[in-house]
Amino acid sequence: MNTTPTETAALLARARAWAAEDPDPETAEQLLALAGAAEADDAGAAARDLALRELADRFAGPLGFGTAGLRAALGAGPNRMNRAVVRRTAAGLASYLLQRAAGAYVPTAVVGFDARHKSEVFALDTAAVFTAAGIETFLLPAPLPTPVLAWAVRALACEAGVMVTASHNPAQDNGYKVYLGGEAAPGDGEGAQITAPTDREIAALIDHAAALDSIPLAASGWTVLPGAGEPGDVAARYVSDVAALASADANTASSGHGLRIVLTPMHGVGGETLSRVFAAAGFTDVALVDAQAAPDPDFPTVDFPNPEEPGALDLALAQAESSGADLVIATDPDADRCAVAADFPGEGWRMLRGDEVGSLLGAHLATHPATRFRAEAEGADRPVFANSIVSSRQLGRIAEAHGLGHRTTLTGFKWIARVPGLAYGYEEALGYCVAPDLVRDKDGISAALLVAELAAGLKAAGRSLPGALDELALVHGLHATDQLSVRVASLDLLGAMMGRLRAQPPTSFAGSEVVSVLDLAEGGELPPTEGLSFLAADDTRVIVRPSGTEPKLKCYLEVIAPVGAADELPAARAAARERLDAVRRDVEEALGL
């Protein structure tokens, strides 16, 4: 590493100073070990250089706080997730809440955590900082899903909610997700994740240079909410609210129409809560994937704890096939996302794409008795469905056919949840909001229940989820989607690739002329965001945007084809697949891959 002796000495001094005030002996030892390795006379030059590079990365700058809160690898230093960073962030958030209150009320906050490494410690530190700052604080009693925390923000009328989780990130990561509600975010944003400029306002109040001993910590004073077996059990209240979403005429409390479900929580915290919801709604034939049932922060049976990743559902699919199951449900580690798999004639078991589940749930909810009730409760003229700009256009056609409103939003539930009159929203990355009056965020548990309700009703009528997809294609056109993700070594390359597309946009996709190019950065109907949207004459659509959480360029492809009769569907699907492959090749060429 090319640093001067003065720069190296300053870096080592910063590392030792951080270690000296680090409240976590484990991360303090990490820094001291790295500092020692970086100046060890008996270590080779390569080993010393490696230690210096690691220290430089950890001290490259403070971990950025944005609309997703914080998310990074665990470890010592300002550019990692650790107790020092969490305490400073909590102090900044507390200052924001107190400034918003301006003495007119006492802010309240609820803090939750999952089963990842350090999650409970970070939650306790947050509760201690909040309480010392004068914020009335509630702490969830155990590792619980993110939707329970999001539900609690509204159920307890809190001004803020903090969930310590890294969702479906790798085991070495953790994160800090922030919601606002109550007096701090009334209206359509109540109980939703933060958006700009709130993130910047909170970030401005985080003092990254503050000495840790200058941040007061309460030894007690927060309220641990009732847990399992206690009166007022907070998880039981959530379970009761969610189970009530199931229609009495769609399943029976005694049998759930005989639906046999295989469930995997992917080593996360969703298994127990979702099992309780299924049982309360009458779905009793639910078999957990034993190897993935208990929370385990190391996620030992999967390379990446994301149901979308190849191989992640292999154990569940094998169990479903061997047991004669009707349905596979998977939640990601914090259970805010839901994956669905079914047995397709001629294909075998496969996971449904997020857009397929999104459309199925949309068609189900379009006639669901609770949908119009929710719209009326929100004061809307009619229920509104919403999905992100990169999701399929089929939901808009479903909403129109049922006389419902429809809105397209930027990517992320912080936008979907704020749509006025929202009755249902989804994004293709396995996120579904089926009950915004309960949880203004994606909720894999309530979505799983309504998927089971739909599957049970179809089974009772001698139908299936694959068949229901065919029926949607016949009515609204065959909508086929795919993705191309390009991982890069440097974030700078993302800007270069987007610049190439702007300078030399593709002129056709799969032989169909591009008739519209929309630069999403210029704004318009939606707030400005980095991305490009291309529309071809045959209604093929391609959207290209940088990932908001990873060094990836993501390309979303969709082709639409009318289908006149059921016997035309196999050929139409094959033709759509060929078109998607051709579009994919054209996108790769445009990107210079």
Residues 6+ apart with CB under 8 A from 37: 43, 47, 48, 50, 51
Strands 422-427 and 384-388: parallel
CB 469 within 8 A of CB 360: yes
Q: Which residue has the tokens 């179809």?
A: 458
Cα–Cα distance between 522 and 527 in angstroms, integer? Answer: 8
Please indicate whether residue 167 is annotated as part of the active site.
Answer: yes
- Secondary element (H or E) of residue 257: none
Q: What is the DSSP code (8-state) at residue 195?
A: -
Q: How many whole angstroms from its chain centre is CA 383?
A: 24
Q: Hey, what are 22's tokens? A: 């680090």
Of 119, 167, 446, 512, the active-site residue reads: 167
Strands 286-288 and 261-264: parallel
Is 182 within 8 Å of 136 (Cβ atoms)? no
Q: What is the C-alpha to C-alpha distance for residues 420 and 407, in angstroms, rounded to an integer? A: 9
Q: Do 444 and 338 meet the contact criterion of CB atoms below 8 Å apart?
A: yes
Decide: 112 and 167 in contact? Cβ < 8 Å.
no
Contacts with 154 (C-beta within 8 Å, 6 or more apart), sequence order: 181, 190, 191, 438, 439, 440
User: Which tokens belong to 326?
Assistant: 């009707």
List residues with catalytic annotation.
Answer: 167
